[in-house]
Structure formats: C-alpha cells, structure tokens
Structure 1
Amino acid sequence: MAVSGPPFSVGAAPVLSGAPLDPAPLDAALAQSAALHGHLCPRQVLGARSALLAGRLLDLPLPRTDKRLLVLAETDGCYADGLSAASGCWLGRRTLRLMDYGRVAATFVDTRTGRAVRVWPQTDLRERVRAARPPEQKRYQAYLDAYRSWPDARLLAAREVTLNFDLDGLLSRHGQREVCSGCGEEIINERWVRRGERVLCPACLSGAYYVWAPPLTEL
C-alpha cells in the first residue's frame, strides 16, 4: 500500500504539544474503559492518551465508528482497554490486533493512506511522576493524576513508522473462506496457505499451539 501525506515533522518525529488538554474526550474514554474493566488504573489512562494523541497526529477524529484506523497493541490488559475505549478499535471489529511484545506501546495505522505512528510512554515517566509526587499522595494516585493531566510533551513519545508486513494481507477480504485439507475445518479471513492442490490452515501447516487430549465422551 502506498503511503500518502507529509511526514509529521523532519525526521518523522512529531513535535508534541505542551498545551493543556481538552478533558472531555479523555474523560469519556476513561468512563467507558473503567466500566468495561471494572476499575480505572494508570495503564488504561496511558492507553487512552496514546490513542487520542495518535488520532491528532493522523488527523482522524476519535472514537472511530468505521474501520479506517487499525491499532497494533504491543501488550494486552489495562493498556489495551484504554486504547479501545478512546480509539473505537476493538478485537471483535478486527480493528485492534495484539503484537505481544510486552511493551506499553501501540502503532496506529490509517488504512486509507498507509500512514502509521507508534506511541509509547516516555521511558523516565514513572521516575518523574514519583519525583513530583507530594509526600502525602499515594503513588498509585500520583500516576493516575499525572497521566490524566500532564501534556503530551511530558507524557508520551511518538514517531512515524513504516510497517514491514503486507497490510492488505493482514486486513484480508470479507467473506473469503476455504476448508482445510488437513483438519477439515473452515478457514476464514484468508489465513490459509496453498501447497499444490492442498489448502492448509496455519495449524496444519506449521503446528498448532495445542496438542489433542483424549476424545471427550460427552459434550
């Protein structure tokens, strides 16, 4: 996919704003995230802030109700809930994908233009929050307050990236299906591989993430 549009800045690293935040979009995202998650935690705030920043950098209003934005989350859990609530991108809508690197970061892809930006917390963020924390404030609350209120320039880092895989192949075409020649199960989302006349699912081609237990006597 060809990428259109100018880079965010020279060197592909955008200049982040130090201006005060508009609290309304963040508050709405965090209310939804907390309701789904059962409580509000600092990484949910980081996820929501990351998504809102990416939306501004890509000039895409959030949350999305279409499938133009794709989010590649590098961890699951609280951070991913914040990403989804703010961006409108969800696993069930095929607009959120997990790249399980164990890093609190995400890449946001405008699938119409091919532009992508990776956003992550600044590496010394926790240390700076602890240094700024009043002695009477609990550390957990200090993280929540700082992540909600600090401007982007104090909180996050961002950089434009180029994906090293076929985006169209990842997104695939709706309604495509085949039957695996190995296991006989249906394969959707164009995740099959052809080997001569055989059509194989990834598990039959390369091995599954499980091994079969003895057959169940009853279901």
Structure 2
Amino acid sequence: MDTTQSETYARLLEEAGRFHGDVCRGIRIGTRMTMAGLREIGIADPKGADRKNLIVFVEIDRCATDAIMALTGCRPGKRTMKVLDYGKMAATFVNLRTGAAVRVTEREDGPDKDAAPALLATIPDEALFRLTPVAVPLRPEDLPGRPVRACLCARCGESVLDGREIVFGGETLCRACFEGRSYYSPSA
C-alpha cells in the first residue's frame, strides 16, 4: 500500500470509527475489506456517483459490518446491504452496473491484524484477505426499490415480501412457520 493509500486508509478509518463509536479491530479490518472490495469491482465513489451500482453481502453481525456500512453508504433498509450472519469475517461486494463481484474473506494465516492502525495500513491486501471473484445471481426481488411481490403465510397470516416465502405441501409459508421456530416466542 503506497503513501496515498495509507492516507486514504487513515481518513476512512476515522470516518468508520465515528460511525461505530470507536476504532476497534473490527473497524480496522472492515475498513481495509471495504477498500479492497471496492477497488476489485471498480467502484470509486460508493456514496456518490456509484451509489446505485453497489450491493454488499456481509457474513457477520459485528463491527466490520459497521465499517462497511459507514464507508459504502449501503444499508439493509435501502436493500443495498444484505446481512447473512454466518459468523464469518467476510463480505461480497457487487457492482450492479458491470456484474463484477468479489468475496473478501479474512486470512487466518495472515499477519497480526491486531497491529497498530499505521502498521495495518501498510500490509498488502493479499496478505490480509482472500479476494475471490464470484458470481452473485440477483433476482428483481433482491434489488433496491419497492417490493416486487407480497403474499400471506398460510399459518400465521403475516405478509411475506419479495420471494422470501416457502411453498411446502401446497402451503405458502413464511420461513419461521416453515422451520417451526422463530427468534421469539409469545409471552403470557
């Protein structure tokens, strides 16, 4: 990483830290992941000229996700960030205009990622991450904008948007009813 990239990292790290509330290891790694992912797919201005050309899939619900959100402007509510909590320090950046996509995963065999931010700024991306070109098939229901369709769950009667329903045994079900469990249970 050259001096200009180190200066960019310092500026972006400060921005991500303000958004998150502090600069921890996850913010440092998430900042570098964002820089690498955007560079690999050719997005230069994620909050400006390229803001409608980017979707990010994050695979962890930790600090790195805040860094990615702060630096890209992608948000679940805008349908430009998809949070898939697999518990992995990984994110996939997709350029909607070109179709280019890269999955950025933390290397476990890489250098000490708890290093001081100035040192972390100098470590090459390839030493910190695996940068894997991938294909991400996106349906109209996955893209930003108004819901494409809605249906009702046959068991709970709640609305399910954008193809997230499951048809099983002739019934259209929400995921919670299909799996027979939810993250909540009714209280007395």
TM category, shorter: 0.7 to 0.9
Deviates more, 1:20-29 or 1:152-161: 20-29
Correspondence list, 1:198-209, <5 A: 198-209=171-182
For 2:76, the equivalent position in structure 1 comes to 91
For 1:15, the equivalent position in structure 2 comes to none
For 1:171, the equivalent position in structure 2 comes to 142
C-alpha deviation, 1:94, in angstroms:
1.7
List alignment gaps of at least 5 residues for structure 2.
none
2 CA distance for matches of 1:123 and 1:116? 22
1 CA distance for matches of 2:106 and 2:43? 21
For 2:9, the equivalent position in structure 1 comes to 26
2 CA distance for matches of 1:110 and 1:74? 18
TM-score using structure 2 length: 0.79
Q: Sequence identity, in percent?
A: 30
2 CA distance for matches of 1:46 and 1:39? 13
2 CA distance for matches of 1:58 and 1:211? 39
1:183 matched to 2:183? The reply is no
The verdict on how the C-alpha distance between 1:181 and 1:32 changes in structure 2, with shifts beyond 3 A counting, is same
| Partner SS state of residue 178, structure 1 | strand
The total of aligned residue pairs comes to 184
C-alpha deviation, 1:211, in angstroms:
5.8
List alignment gaps of at least 5 residues for structure 1.
1-17, 130-139
Deviates more, 1:80-89 or 1:187-196: 187-196
2 CA distance for matches of 1:93 and 1:179? 23
Deviations 1:59-79 (A, max 9, x none): 112333534222121222111
Aligned residue type for 2:105: W
Higher Cα radius of gyration: 1
1:213 matched to 2:183? The reply is no
| Partner SS state of residue 167, structure 1 | coil
2 CA distance for matches of 1:43 and 1:211? 28
| Partner SS state of residue 22, structure 1 | helix
The verdict on how the C-alpha distance between 1:92 and 1:149 changes in structure 2, with shifts beyond 3 A counting, is farther
TM-score using structure 1 length: 0.69
C-alpha deviation, 1:169, in angstroms:
6.1
C-alpha deviation, 1:168, in angstroms:
1.0
For 1:64, the equivalent position in structure 2 comes to 47
2 CA distance for matches of 1:122 and 1:21? 24
For 1:46, the equivalent position in structure 2 comes to 29
The verdict on how the C-alpha distance between 1:123 and 1:210 changes in structure 2, with shifts beyond 3 A counting, is closer
Deviations 1:124-157 (A, max 9, x none): 3344x6xxxxxxxxxx5x3423223334344333
Contact 1:117 1:159 in 2 (8 A): yes
For 2:105, the equivalent position in structure 1 comes to 120
2 CA distance for matches of 1:150 and 1:210? 40
Deviates more, 1:66-75 or 1:47-56: 66-75
Contact 2:56 2:82 in 1 (8 A): yes
RMSD across aligned positions (CA)? 2.8
Larger RCO, structure (CA 8 Å, separation 6 or more):
1
1:109 matched to 2:94? The reply is yes
